[in-house]
Structures are given as structure tokens and as C-alpha cells.
Structure 1
């Protein structure tokens, strides 16, 4: 059985809810980056043992949160040892705006994964882009490189749209399936 770790920072709870949906789909273990940008005890060991690492962060001002960036900078230790080489990686993000420059955050995560010598798993879901599509359909926002969601700045976590959460669950399932296919058990 493959081990999926979902390492994420969430400022207001929306990204955490996405992380939970990714975990529901993948059977993965959540690993929250705290408000100071640190992992809990045993976090680095969990990432080392994982077959796939899924990054998650809100998109603030066109990029990942500083807490996620602090985690990324701290990952220079496993980078130096090439400890995450050939692991699978994926990423997700949420912002208040429909676009919000979410692709910048996913690109940052993808670059981090590539620097670690990893293999990136994209969303693998066609966008809901027909005239009949609704905002509650999976991948309505039309991402390919990772899961994205949009939560209005005055919306609670409970107000997150079912289509965005279904996209995150499907994404988690895809990461686990790709890991099971590509990685030896």
C-alpha cells in the first residue's frame, strides 16, 4: 500500500478543508504547517516515509503563504541528501478570487518538487467548460497542474463549493492511484 502525505498550511480553514478532501480521496495522512511555519513533531519523518507528497497552501498576493515558504526553505536538508528523489509530488491551492494567480502557487510547488528530484502528478480531470456546466461541477476553474478552489473572502469553510471539494477528492484519488501504479510496494 502506498503512503501519501498531505503537507499544507491553511490561514483561514479553506485550504485545510481542501487538504481533508485530498486525504479522503487518497487515504493519505494530513500534516499541518502551523501558524509559525513549522511542522509538528515527527513531520519530517512522515514525509521521508511517504511515497507521495502533496503540497497545499493558500494563494496570497500571487504566491504561497509565508508559512509554506518557510517549510519549503527548511526542506533544504532533505534536498541536500536527495532524500525525496523519485517521490511523487502534487499540489493544491485556494484563493478568494476566481483566478487569484493560483497557477503561480502551483508553479512554485512544482518547482520545489522538481528541485527535490520528484515526479509531478497533475489533476487529470477535464475542465467543466460546456454551456451546461455550473460552478458546482468538478474542475469548473479549469486547472491541469493541480487542484484549485475559490472561496470568497467573506465565505466560511462551510460555504466551500461541492465541486471544488469533489475536485480535491478526485485529485487525492488520482495521486494514490498513480503512486500504486508507478511505485513498488
Structure 2
């Protein structure tokens, strides 16, 4: 059973969550985790001006995904930073190219989840995940959130991302905050949860 973790990351926060999601998937017997990125739409000089060139080198080894390969996977978990309460443009452009998959019903019945990051605690994490769900529902995918069986959602001892809709992290206004352990634990849990459901559906 193959689970694709498909994401875009500018400053590495979503990439770190993607790694934790993949580790969670791998804990399920018979489940394989594949990390892939959506294509970049910004030019190298723009990325350099945004101060992301060196950071992105750390995950340039992750292969870029094509739309045509999506039906090969049994489950897909999507990761995107928040852009004004929505998914980033790179992810939107990738998904906007999936019209033929929609027409053929190629993704119907596949489990899917979403994780995200935002600069601030109330910077649109939940709206990004919920609006992302609309595209997945149009494809007939089975949305898998982050259930309250992940006890870290009840954590009030520190500022943390995460909601029943999916995993999230707070990056900080200058990208200075890395995902905390509770957020990484949530990502690990979500990966395992999606893979467990996918195994049941495949069998």
C-alpha cells in the first residue's frame, strides 16, 4: 500500500512536517511512504530575494511529482503553507491541472489528508485545510482528519498547531519557529492514521 506525501515548502516548515507524516505512515505494516514535491513556479532569483535559496537546498533531493502519477497511490496526504487563508499558488496550480483525473474519476475513494503552516497562530491554518478539502471532495476522495484520539490536540500548556481538520505548525513571522514536538507528534499520528485507513480500504 503506497501513500504519497505531496507538498510544497518555501522555508522548510512544511517539509519537516512531511518527514514526520512519512515516518508515521511507515509504522503501519505493509505501508510505504513516498515523499514528493509539487513543481516550483517561482524563478530562482525571486526565491533568492525571498531568502529561501539555502533552505530549499536541504530538500531539493525530494523528487517532483507529476499529475499523471497520482492514481498510482492508495492514499495521498497533501502539505502546503498558508497564503492568505488558502493553499499556496504552487499547490493550486498543480491541482488545477488534475482535470483529466477528475473526468476519469481516477482519485475517487482514495483517503486524503492535509497539513499546513502559517506565520501566526491565527494566520489561516484551519481555513487553508478546510478550503483544500473542497478540491479533494470534488475528486471524490475520502477526507481523513486528525481525530481527538491524538491527545496532543488538548494541549493548553504551549502554543501549538493542529485541529480536527488536520496537522499544522506555526512558522513565526520571520520563519524563526521550527515545528515543536507536539506538532511533529501530530504529523506522525496523522500519517499512521491515514495509512491505517488506506490499508483497510485496500483490503
- 1:119-144: CA deviation from partner (whole Å, max 9, x where unpaired): 111111245436xx4327xxx43500
Residue 101 (structure 1) aligned with residue 124 (structure 2): yes
Partner of 1:18: 17
User: Displacement, 1:61?
Assistant: 1.3
Residue 163 (structure 1) aligned with residue 182 (structure 2): yes
User: Displacement, 1:42?
Assistant: 6.0
User: Displacement, 1:93?
Assistant: 0.5
Please give the TM-score of this superposition, normalised by the length of structure 2. Answer: 0.78
**Distance in 2 between the 1:126 and 1:145 partners?**
15
Other structure's SS at 1:164 match? helix
User: Displacement, 1:156?
Assistant: 4.4
Partner of 2:194: 175
Other structure's SS at 1:143 match? coil
Instruction: Kindly indicate whether the alpha-carbon contact (under 8 Å) linking 2:36 and 2:65 is maintained by their aligned counterparts in 1.
Output: no
**Distance in 2 between the 1:173 and 1:46 partners?**
22
Partner of 1:66: 89
Residue 129 (structure 1) aligned with residue 128 (structure 2): no
Give the direction of change, closer, same or farther, for the CA distance of 1:89–1:128 in structure 2 (3 Å limit): closer
Unmatched 5+ stretches in structure 2 = 27-32, 43-62
The partner residue of 1:77 within 85, 100, 103 is: 100
Partner of 1:29: 34
Written as runs of structure 1 = structure 2, the 5 A alignment for 1:36-75 is 36=41, 43-75=66-98
- The CA RMSD measured in Å over matched residues stands at 2.2
Once superposed, which parts of structure 1, at least 4 consecutive aligned residues long, lie more than 4 Å away? none
Partner of 1:145: 165
Please give the TM-score of this superposition, normalised by the length of structure 1. Answer: 0.85
Q: Tell me the matched-pair count.
A: 176
Other structure's SS at 1:85 match? coil
User: Displacement, 1:41?
Assistant: 6.3
